[in-house]
Amino acid sequence: MKKFFVKILLVSFPIWVLVALYLYKDPFKVLYHYDVFYKPGDSSPVTLNKDYVSTETFLQNNPTYHYEAFAFGNSRSMFYEMDTWKKYIHTDRCFHYDAAAESMLGIYRKIRFLDSLHVNMKHALLVLDYETLIQTAEYPGHLFMSHPTLSYRNWFSYQADYVKTFFSPQFLVAYVDYTLSGKVKPYMNAGFLLYDFPFDYSLKYNEMKLEKDEKIIHTNTKSYYDRKKMSVFYKRPDKQQESDRVIYDKQVQMFQEIKRIFQKNHTQYKIVINPLYDQKKLNATDLAILKNYFGENQVYDFSGINFITNDYHNYYEVSHYRPQVSRFIMGEIYK
C-alpha cells in the first residue's frame, strides 16, 4: 500500500508543480487583484483578456476619475486617442471600454452595466464594423469571454476556462518553454497565446498606444513597411464590394435598449463605421437600420473604397488603422 501511494505521488508530482506554477504566476491575471494590468517593463508576454482588464480597470478607477465619456469597440477603437477626443467633448474623464474581437453583445452588456451603476454617460463613441455587428454571442476562447459581472456567469465556471487553457497542450508547452528560456519564439504567437510586442499604456484612460511603431514610421517609413510587412497588404478588388447583411432582430433589440439608455442619460453619442483595409462597404440595409435607430446625423460610414483605405500607410497591418486616421475621423464627426 505504501508503495502504491509513493507511485501516486510520483506520478502526480508534475501536475502539482504545474498547479503551483499557475497559482504563483497567475499568467492570465484573473486570480488576484492588480492595480495595473500592464506595467512598463512587465516581462510577461501572455495575452490578457481585454474585456476583463477593461472592466476591472473601470471598477478600480472610476471612484477616482468619475468617468463620463466612453469609447466602445474592438481593438481598432484603441487608436481613438483620448487626448484627441477630449478636445471635442471638453472633458478628460474618458475611458476606453474596449475588448478584443468585441461583439455587439459585448458593447450592449457594457452600456447596460454602466447604466446599472448609474454612471453619468455624457458622451459615447461606438466604433463598429460588420465583424462587430454580426456577433450576437461571445467568441469562444479565454481571450474573448465577457467579465462575469457583465455576463452574470458563475465565477468558478469563468475561472475554470482559464485553468483549461493553461493545461491545454498548445498553451502549456509554449508557457513552460518561455518560462525556462525567457524567449518568445515564433510558434508561441499562434492564437495570440504568447505575443511579445511593445506598447505604451495609460491607466487613467485604459489606453494602449503603439508609440514605438509610430516613431519608426515617422523616422524611417521604408524600414517599417519592408518586404515582410508589405506581404500582408493583399490586392483588393477594383470594384466596390459590399459586406453581407448582418443586422437582424437580435441586434435591433440591442439597439433599442442602447438608444433607451442613451436617451435616459442624455448621452451625446457618435457611431463610426470603420474604414477597413478590405474596402468592403457596410451593407446598405445595415447602415439604414443603424441610422433609423440612432439618427441620420449620428452614424458616420467610412467603410469602402476611399482615400483612407486606398493608402496602406494608414494601417499597421490589414486589421488596424493608425491614430492619424482616427484623428481625421474625429475631426469630421465633431465638426
Q: Residues 232-258: what's their mean pLDDT? A: 97
pLDDT of 39: 84
Q: Is 280 a domain residue?
A: yes
Mean pLDDT of the chain: 93
Q: Is 278 a domain residue?
A: yes
Q: Is 1 a domain residue?
A: no
Q: Is 243 a domain residue?
A: yes
Q: Is 52 a domain residue?
A: yes
pLDDT tens sequence across 173-225: 999 999 889 888 888 887 777 887 789 999 999 999 999 999 999 999 999 99
pLDDT of 9: 53
Closest CA to 103 of 137, 65, 142: 137
Between the alpha carbon of residue 217 and those of residues 8, 21, 97, 308, the distances in Å are 57, 40, 27, 17
**How many domains does the structure of the chain reveal?**
1
- The whole model's pTM is what? 0.94
Taking 90 as the threshold, does the pLDDT of residue 140 lie above it? no
Q: How is 100-162 classified by DSSP, letter by letter?
A: TT--HHHHHHHHHHHHHTT----EEEEEE-HHHHT-SSPPSSTTTPPPHHHHT--HHHHHHHH
Q: What percent of the chain has pLDDT over 90?
A: 83
Q: Is 186 a domain residue?
A: yes
Q: Cα 150–209–331 angle (5° rounding)?
A: 90
Q: Residues 147-164: what's their mean pLDDT? A: 95
Residue-number span of the structural domain to which 155 is assigned: 37-334
Rounded to whole angstroms, the Cα distance separating 144 from 160 reads 14
Q: Is 286 a domain residue?
A: yes
On the 0-12 / 13-18 / 19+ scale of CB atoms within 10 A, 42 is exposed
Closest CA to 255 of 299, 197, 224: 299
Q: Is 5 a domain residue?
A: no
pLDDT tens sequence across 299-328: 999 999 999 999 999 999 999 999 999 999
- DSSP H helices, 225-322, are 227-230, 249-265, 284-294, 307-310
